[in-house]
């Protein structure tokens, strides 16, 4: 029984937010024909538009499950003939592109270990030249927005205009909460730079644990992402890859019921005026923030002149330690987080140092010293 009607793939590329979320789901890897069939039957009934399943798995360590390759493409093809659900697989090189085109795969995605390498991306872009197949491009493993944008541009230039981006988080050595840190500012900036490219969130690879998948999906929806790609498996605990992050069918059904899709705006004029009022307050406060920062930098430049006159170094570790301690304490008393305050003050401090050094390097005393050094040389 179809409980939720699915969007067609073209609704994703028409970029209509009213059809959100465009749902892609399925196992991390295609493990057997039965697994593909049961997943597709269930996910279609849940309004999922596209079945995902990796057939070539790039693994960190050897001797792990590396996918069933062409045989698995055959299972997916049979699934589509029987169940009429489109499917997507990951490609990591030109050879994969040739294979998926033979099987008339509906959509392909490029993984994080591939988008990190412009040579591989170019190879895939060349293999796709002139071919009209939708391509979803995951962010590279490291938090490098230009690299992600570059991968999108290379594929887009191969005359393949149906391109979307998938945010799957960024690797970091010591993060315990997430498998891959979301760094939400990066996909938000990508959307600002490339507004016509639909944005999909992959909460499974961001969180690495199934209990957090609904939470991260909700954030993505509240940030106006167009869709979600979620790993779902008939028996997640025995999955051959990414067992901890895949949802069971029951968990997926529960998650679908709980996901809230908020509107972009409200039509209620009274409510809208309240929002406008709050935005006016933010505009005024930002004006004050900028004036205050400018005043602070002016004082920093005065300190720079003082230091050059008295021949002392710019960086004073004791003073910096004291600033960090007192400011984080002050801020925390007013409900600001320690992490935010530390980041904020380290940016302010770096800028102060730069402003001080520009005063010092342009001071007449320094110019004199440099000139006499040059004359000696």
Binding site for ligand PEP (CB under 6 A): 28, 54, 111-113, 138, 168, 205
Q: How far is the CB of 138 from ligand PEP (least distance, A)?
A: 5
* Residue located via tokens 């028409």: 14
Residue 106 binds what, of ligand PEP, Mn ion, none (CB under 5 to 8 Å, by partner type)?
none
CB of 54 to ligand PEP, least distance (A): 5
Interacting positions 2-61 with Mn ion (CB under 5 A): 28
Q: What is the DSSP string of 11-31?
A: HHHTT-GGGPPEEEEE-SB--
Buried b / exposed e along 134-146 (16+ C-beta atoms within 10 A):
bbbbbbbbebebe
Q: How far is the CB of 7 from ligand PEP (least distance, A)?
A: 20
Structure tokens at 109: 């995605």
| Nearest residue (CB) to ligand PEP, 28 versus 152 | 28
Give the separation between CA 79 and CA 41, rounded to whole angstroms: 9
Tell me whether residue 108 or residue 341 sits nearer to ligand PEP (CB atom): 108
Residue 203: CB minimum distance to ligand PEP, A? 11
> 168 is in the binding site of which of Mn ion, ligand PEP, none (Cβ under 5 to 8 A by kind)?
ligand PEP
Residue 290 parent element (H or E): helix 269-309
Q: Which of residues 209-268 bind Mn ion (CB under 5 A)?
A: 242
Cβ proximity to ligand PEP: between 168 and 210 the closer is: 168
- Token pair listed for 193: 């730079």
Residue 103: CB minimum distance to Mn ion, A: 21
Whichever of 113 and 244 has its CB closer to ligand PEP, that residue is 113
Residue whose CB is less far from Mn ion, 28 or 186: 28
Structure tokens at 276: 């406008």
Q: Which is nearer to ligand PEP, 100 or 112 (CB)?
A: 112
CB 349 within 8 A of CB 341: no
Specify whether the backbone of 242 is left (phi greater than 0), alpha (psi in -120 to 50) or beta: left
Residue 250 structure tokens: 């029951």
- Residue 233 binds: one of Mn ion, ligand PEP, none (C-beta under 5 to 8 A by kind): none
Burial of 284 (0-12, 13-18, 19+ CB in 10 A): exposed
CB 46 within 8 A of CB 253: yes
| Nearest distance in Å: CB 159, ligand PEP | 25
Question: Rule CB under 5 A: is residue 359 a binding residue for Mn ion?
Answer: no
> Which residues make up the interface to Mn ion (CB under 5 A)?
28, 242
């Amino acid at each position: 029984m179809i409980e939720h009607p699915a969007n067609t793939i073209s609704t994703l590329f028409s970029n209509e937010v009213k059809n959100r979320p465009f749902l892609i789901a399925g196992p991390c890897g295609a493990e057997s024909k039965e697994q593909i069939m049961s997943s597709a039957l269930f996910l279609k009934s849940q309004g999922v538009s596209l079945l995902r399943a990796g057939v070539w798995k790039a693994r960190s360590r050897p001797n792990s499950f590396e996918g069933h390759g062409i045989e698995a493409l055959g299972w997916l093809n049979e699934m589509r003939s029987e169940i009429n659900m489109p499917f997507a697989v990951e490609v990591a090189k030109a050879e994969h592109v040739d294979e998926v085109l033979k099987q008339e795969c509906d959509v392909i995605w490029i993984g994080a270990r591939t988008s990190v390498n412009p040579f591989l991306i170019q190879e895939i872009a060349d293999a796709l030249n002139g071919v009209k197949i939708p391509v979803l491009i995951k962010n590279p493993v490291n938090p490098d927005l230009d690299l992600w944008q570059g991968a999108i541009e290379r594929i887009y230039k191969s005359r393949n205009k149906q391109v979307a981006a998938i945010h799957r988080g960024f690797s970091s050595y010591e993060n315990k909460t997430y498998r891959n840190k979301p760094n939400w500012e990066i996909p938000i900036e990508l959307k600002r730079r490339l507004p016509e490219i639909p944005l999909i969130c992959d909460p499974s690879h961001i969180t690495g644990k199934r209990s957090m998948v609904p939470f991260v999906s909700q954030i993505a929806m509240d940030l106006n992402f167009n869709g979600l790609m979620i790993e779902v498996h008939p028996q997640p605990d025995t999955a051959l890859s990414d067992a901890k992050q895949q949802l069971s069918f029951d968990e997926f059904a529960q998650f679908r019921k709980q996901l809230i899709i908020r509107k972009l705006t409200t039509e209620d004029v009274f409510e809208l005026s309240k929002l406008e009022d709050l935005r006016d307050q933010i505009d005024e406060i930002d004006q004050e923030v900028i004036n205050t920062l400018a005043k602070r930098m002016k004082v920093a430049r005065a300190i720079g002149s003082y230091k050059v006159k008295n021949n002392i170094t710019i960086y004073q570790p004791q003073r910096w330690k004291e600033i960090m301690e007192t400011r984080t304490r002050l801020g925390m008393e007013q409900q600001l987080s320690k992490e935010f305050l530390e980041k904020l003050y380290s940016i302010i401090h770096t800028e102060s140092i730069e402003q001080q050094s520009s005063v010092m390097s342009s001071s007449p005393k320094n110019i004199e010293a440099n000139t006499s050094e040059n004359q000696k040389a």
